[in-house]
Amino acid sequence: DAGITQSPRHKVTETGTPVTLRCHQTENHRYMYWYRQDPGHGLRLIHYSYGVKDTDKGEVSDGYSVSRSKTEDFLLTLESATSSQTSVYFCATTGGEAGANVLTFGAGSRLTVL
């Protein structure tokens, strides 16, 4: 699946601690995204990137920051985790043979904030 690797796959942390989730892709896709998935809300866009150092906010960006210093890596940071950020986080990319609009997802990272 577009060679997308997310790490860590599971993390438990305490309120107030910083957390960074990493997404690594091997397909040289220009666009990368971070979504969170919560019951009853589907998938909601947090931030996306349209190139190295080019990022923009999505629907639920408060409390999150991102960075993209290389084409292949897109980092999502929670500066001070809160219980409301307990969720499953999916990284995704678009591009390549699948088509310009087709999202291909990573396996997800389950984050629990106690």
Partner 1 sequence: GENVEQHPSTLSVQEGDSAVIKCTYSDSASNYFPWYKQELGKRPQLIIDIRSNVGEKKDQRIAVTLNKTAKHFSLHITETQPEDSAVYFCAATGSARQLTFGSGTQLTVLP
User: Is residue 22 within the footprint of partner 1 (CB under 8 A)?
Assistant: no
Distance CA(3)–CA(105), nearest Å, equals: 10
Strand order across the 4-7 sheet? 4-7, 19-25, 73-78, 64-70
User: Is residue 54 within the footprint of partner 1 (CB under 8 A)?
Assistant: no
User: Is residue 20 within the footprint of partner 1 (CB under 8 A)?
Assistant: no
Burial of 10 (0-12, 13-18, 19+ CB in 10 A): exposed
User: Is residue 1 within the footprint of partner 1 (CB under 8 A)?
Assistant: yes
User: Is residue 45 within the footprint of partner 1 (CB under 8 A)?
Assistant: yes
User: Is residue 70 within the footprint of partner 1 (CB under 8 A)?
Assistant: no
Binding site for partner 1 (CB under 8 A): 1, 31, 35, 40-45, 48, 50, 56, 58-59, 90, 94, 98, 100-108
